[in-house]
Structure 1
């Protein structure tokens, strides 16, 4: 199973030693052709430590590491999967998505103060990566299977909390106790479950603070970790890190630190994530599949060349890859247009007895589509459907946009017909997206109207689904009408809405208006726009060669916490190139952020080098 490490031939061919202090930016064949032309942040990575377990190898099982490097020999491990052994607290750090009401969780790009504004956020692959899946293991089974959720789970306590004004949750709890109501762990857990489903982290945090201050419950490590998670989401990483110091040392275990690690990854804070990982090793916590998966998720978004380092660590520590590991490695291979690597990973995963779930199959189908293998994608979709789609209703949400990506309107209609008589909220969202991809605006609008009439208490993100369709088809007038409808309904704006709104004006050619909306949204609503929202505006300025405004967006992104991203530097450099203007100190700026140009990027830098020497300039000088 140790094929992952074989992704990195340079590790084995150039005398790489684990624990060395030299640079670990290893070039692996998982790196896409696109990344070959990008700039990598090359700096020493300490997380591969010298405290490594001995390797046990066998040659009778296909190795996932070998599958990453065609032609290399396979290795496998006899080591069993390691679980984290966390305690069973009253609230899990990540609520699994139910079939009815929960959408995908946010990547953490939006570090919103939700005590002021409590938006329902969604990843939807908008923030350059997948969602922040905390991938908690079931403490009873030792696996990472998600526990089933009650579809209509509710509680009187939850209703009281929802009825309370945003800043008066603790007062509502005082009144609840005074009236002699029960406040046991089961009741609190149910209230938390419902708050997390709605991404109301600010209210959930107020409850935690009240419980701890009033000593209503005996906290265990899982409870402290849950509060830490909420602090990170609501108040940021710095406050969360300070809270760790306040946790009693006996409860400051692996679960607490890996929760903080996951939040560092969610905000794409590479430096802090690596510091936390190293801290966990220094404290001699067992390195788990979960922790390694978090690093894989981070480097998949930021610097895929570092994935090889994580895989090497997993091999040395005998850490068995999970379904989550395979899913994201398949996605990475697909982004690299490596069809052979994708299929080898699937074969190895199945050989090791790991059955792909709907999400993994959807990733595989999406990558087949992006690589142009529509026949293979169609076969995966039929497998996802199973023998009877009505019995396999859970696949509909993924099937709708995938059939749309294949351009199969009839298939989208067939799948939607299965859902139409009794649709679920997330199926409606998927149908709006699918019809939008196919350019069938009326069908998308019909689904939206059905959704609006069926469910009360929809959020701004549900409007954003249709707003995105209008933006993609440059329907500015329809978009404005929808925005007016949102305003009349009293919906609060969230980062996803801002993204759709900004792109609506960008696609209509009104870049300055989009820029103004982006600025006002951040100032008036106290929200943090997503990375790709900034980039949508910056890219337009760069194409124009508008250096002033490109630099302005670059600066605002840094103020919002988006730093050390090559995507930003690429767009900024393009502005100078298109303006045919010199970029003074550009290399030095990159160096400060630990960003170093590769060959192709360096060639572009030469075009804007104010001190460039040419044959003519040499003669004149």
Structure 2
């Protein structure tokens, strides 16, 4: 772990420091020996983190007035603003989901494919793991259920009737299901809920769980309550989730319950609440798990990367072993900061611990090499991913297609696609459309899409959106509108991903007001909130124009619908003031009120807008 921490911050040569608020610490009866390993340092900004060293866990309750001081990572991760940061601004959308998690193309029948839509999906939180990282299925029997679920995703009759039933009729449909003598064992229930989660039908999954709690076909266990809590948080928010915990029998309020709440706090980017829950886990005497630490890393990766090294130090002291996901987080953070040597150090440390990079990490590393202009290293990484025989290594194809395209390797894209073309999987088709689009070969992308329509007959809007994005990137507004009409004619349900594609289509064509109108209507007419990236695409355009009024309007909408705690929107809004050559009065105070602290890029922007402020003498001279 020491080597990992050094890789995360090679300039860090001394012990982490801790500062204690004197006002509150004076009331605590904590032996001074507990502080011997934690040295004070002057003139260092105290951040809002409140991770407690283990030595305090046996003393009196420690409030949030104990703060860990933070050191910058050597690379100043996150301090640089670049276009590629937009790619995963919402977090690690591809980090906890293995490349082959979704094999819909192999198992969906023609009838079942019609069930897949964006109707009730919620795409605002791509960080959410698609596997059992919450630990809600950690017994051998539950794991077997999940494996069975992956094989039977659309063959579960219970799941099928839940998907087909409108929400207002779900309870009566379930009552009828039981009356007809159909099975309702734990295995059948688990498969249905896992599949509803897979397709982000959270509201319907919550309704199903509430029905189960009322009917009690099986004796509930802690993981059932944790699953219920998770869905309450996703559908109704953190406040309702906390109230639900009070209803859980005390004997079932274990580590899994609070771990689940912590994950949802992180998904909501609620730093204060996440730290509070983490400390609650310690106060209750539960073990600090790798999962809990990973959640903090994920949170600080988004909001304050200087604190990442603090979490690693805590893991070292607590003897918490890093997982594969821990390494993914650190590698991606270093890669985004263009600290390639730091990224490579972490990979070496990882291998030294006997953990081999998976396809997700290999693809991530190749991507960062490409963005860093290290094409030779990128090609070597892709060849390693590909292996000796691409036909034997089909799992890598989905990642290889867009990466070869990013390198401009049309021949390699064609070669890899040829390995898939005879019997393609849906996700490979998506990757091929993206790859041909990157290469500017629009006709090839269209051919892949039309062949998909012939093979699967009726596709969900997700697959239309892939081609829509290609049209948007190449400013093909007419083709995009025609494709959107085809979606409507085929009866596709339109949701956040389609709105996002339409917004970007109009933005790229210079029709920002139309994009704004589309998004506003979508938000008003539906109960599903649009994607963060949709608002950012419009906000960026208003910022480029120096249109402060409309930029502030979009910024306000982001806050209204719950997109808070993200530095990206502040950067874009500040840029509007800079481009308008107008001072942003009170902006620092606004950020402070939102518990946001400027990174290096934002600090530079704040300095720039400060330069526009009139001095007393300039007022007199004007």
TM bin (shorter chain): 0.7 to 0.9
Give per-residue Cα distances to partners, 1:308-342, cap 9 Å, x unaligned. 22111111111111111111111111111112111
Q: Which residue of 2 aligns with 1:364?
A: 365
- In the aligned structure 1, how far is the partner of 2:446 from the partner of 2:514? 25
Which residue number in structure 1 is paired with residue 556 of structure 2? 555
Please state which structure has a larger fraction of its residues in helix. Answer: 2
**Equivalent residue runs for 1:578-593 within 5 Å:** 578-593=579-594
Contact 1:407 1:438 in 2 (8 A): yes
Deviations 1:361-419 (A, max 9, x none): 11111111111111111111111122222222111111111111111111111111111
Shift of 1:607: 4.5
Distance 1:553 1:41 in 2: 32
Relative to structure 1, the CA distance from residue 548 to residue 131 in structure 2 (aligned partners, 3 Å threshold; closer, same or farther) is farther
Deviations 1:482-507 (A, max 9, x none): 11111122222222211111111000
Matches within 5 A, 1:105-504: 117-119=119-121, 121=123, 135-136=133-134, 139=138, 148=147, 150-153=150-153, 154-455=155-456, 458-504=459-505
Q: Is the 8 A contact 2:146 2:191 kept in 1?
A: no
Partner of 1:60: none
> SS at the partner of 1:309?
helix
CA distance in 2, matches of 1:510, 1:567: 22
Q: TM-score, normalised by structure 1?
A: 0.81
SS at match of 2:468: helix
- 1:58 counterpart residue number: none
For residue 563 of structure 1, report the CA deviation from its aligned partner.
2.3
Change (3 A) 1:53 1:595: closer
Contact kept in structure 1, 2:123 and 2:531, CA below 8 Å: no
C-alpha distance in 2 between matches for 1:516 and 1:48: 47
Aligned-partner SS, 2:583:
coil
Q: Is the 8 A contact 1:385 1:392 kept in 2?
A: yes
Counterpart Cα distance in 2 of 1:355 and 1:94 = 17
* Regions of 4+ moved over 6 Å: 93-96, 144-147
2:597 and 2:572 map into 1 onto residues whose CA distance is: 16
Q: Are the equivalent residues in 2 in contact too, given 1:94–1:136 (CA < 8 A)?
A: no
Compared CA separation, residues 293 and 569, structure 1 to 2 (3 A) = same
3-state SS, counterpart of residue 482 of structure 1: helix
CA distance in 2 between partners of 1:401 and 1:463 (Å): 18
Flag the 1:21–1:291 CA change in 2: closer, same or farther, 3 A. Answer: farther
The residue that corresponds to 2:4 in the other structure is 4
Change (3 A) 1:131 1:462: farther
Corresponding residue SS for 1:168 = helix
Worse overlay, 337-346 or 557-566? 557-566
What are the superposed Cα offsets for residues 41-68 of structure 1, whole Å, 9 maximum, x if unpaired?
96331123353799xxxxxxxxxxxxx8
Q: CA 1:349–1:53 in structure 2 vs 1: closer, same or farther (change >3 Å)?
A: farther
Give the conservation status (yes or no) of the 8 Å contact 1:96–1:146: no
**Alignment partners' CA distance in 2, 1:363 and 1:463:** 26
Moved more, 521-530 or 148-157: 148-157
Helix, strand or coil at the partner of 1:366: helix
Deviation of 1:196 after TM superposition, in Å, equals: 2.8
Take 2:293 and 2:105, find their aligned partners in 1: how far apart are those partners?
A: 26
Contact 1:514 1:537 in 2 (8 A): yes
CA distance in 2, matches of 1:614, 1:100: 63
Say if 1:611 and 1:136 are closer, same or farther in 2 by CA, change over 3 A.
Answer: closer
User: Which residue matches 1:529?
Assistant: 530
1:155 touches 1:191 (CA, 8 Å); kept in 2? Answer: yes
From 44, 50, 53, give the equivalent of 2:48. Answer: 44
Task: Give the Cα–Cα distance (whole angstroms) in 2 for the partners of residues 212 and 284 of structure 1.
Answer: 28
The answer to whether the 8 Å contact 1:505/1:511 transfers is yes
CA drift of 1:202 comes to 2.4
**Structure 1 residue 133: deviation in Å?**
6.3
Deviation at 1:8, TM superposition (A): 4.4
- 3-state DSSP of counterpart to 2:306: helix
Q: 1:391 to 1:597 in 2, by over 3 A?
A: closer
Structure 1: state its 5+ residue gaps.
Answer: 23-39, 55-67, 71-92, 104-113
CA gap of 1:338–1:247, structure 2 versus 1, over 3 A, is same
> Per the alignment, do residues 560 and 42 of structure 1 end up closer, same or farther by CA in structure 2, a change over 3 Å counting?
farther
Shift of 1:546: 0.8
Contact (CA 8 Å) 1:53, 1:316: kept in 2 or not? Answer: no
Deviation of 1:205 after TM superposition, in Å, equals: 1.8
Query: 1:417-438 CA deviation, whole Å, 9 max, x = no partner?
Result: 1111111111111111111111
Contact 1:232 1:240 in 2 (8 A): yes
Contact 1:98–1:151 (CA under 8 A) maintained in structure 2: no
2:103 corresponding residue in structure 1: 100
Q: Which residue of 2 aligns with 1:30?
A: none
Counterparts in 2 of 1:8 and 1:355: CA distance versus 1, 3 Å? closer
Partners of 2:145 and 2:187 within 8 A in 1: no
| Change in 2 beyond 3 A, CA 1:234/1:51 | same
Q: Would you say how many aligned residue pairs link Structure 1 and Structure 2?
A: 553
User: Is the deviation greater in 594-603 or in 223-232?
Assistant: 594-603
Question: Which string of whole-angstrom CA distances, capped at 9 and with x for unpartnered residues, describes residues 49-95 of structure 1?
Answer: 353799xxxxxxxxxxxxx879xxxxxxxxxxxxxxxxxxxxxx999
